[in-house]
Amino acid sequence: MQMASTSSGHDEWYRDGLQFECTQCGNCCTGPPGAVWFTEEEAAEMASHLGLSVSEFNSKWARRLKDGWSLKEVQTVHGWDCVFLDRTSLPGKAICSLYNARPIQCRTWPFWPENLESQSAWEDAKKQTPCPGMGRGDLIPIEQIRISRDTENG
């Protein structure tokens, strides 16, 4: 049977929706050293949220990498946490202290194009993160998945 596909060529094996409900474990915000990419517009939004200028924000909370700007990370017993991951305010939870101004990369997880490439890519992301929210909770409809997928895709 031919898989459903959009004009942009995605094979939408997930056309019946995917279950996702964040448990606030923080696993997607830690792990091996990596990058939490953000754009200039997102820098302005995060800076304004914190009452800082963009240059103050970048110098305090971000670092310039070869491919762009990333939020800083801090090494913890859990791994390299995003600098805005808050493990203390809510007992047993790890929450984003910049939630309302968080970058697109964070807003669209786990519906990233690479995780949606195939069912096995989805299962791999779920195991490797590991993200207990994938496969749990309400079914997220295809329309909403497409918005996250295509937003993350730029």
In Å, how far are 106, 108, 116, 126, 132 from 121, measured between CA atoms?
18, 16, 6, 9, 15
Q: In this structure, what token pair is assigned to residue 59?
A: 């110098």
- Helix and strand counts by DSSP (H, E) for the chain: 6, 9
Shortest Å, Cβ 96 to ligand SF4: 9
Provide the β-strand partners of residue 5. Answer: 11
Shortest Å, Cβ 97 to ligand SF4: 13
Q: In this structure, what token pair is assigned to residue 100?
A: 């309302």
Which lies closer to ligand SF4 via its Cβ, residue 48 or residue 130?
Answer: 130
The binding site for ligand SF4 (CB under 6 A) comprises 22-28, 109, 129, 131-133
Shortest Å, Cβ 22 to ligand SF4: 3
Which lies closer to ligand SF4 via its Cβ, residue 62 or residue 131?
Answer: 131
Which lies closer to ligand SF4 via its Cβ, residue 60 or residue 93?
Answer: 93
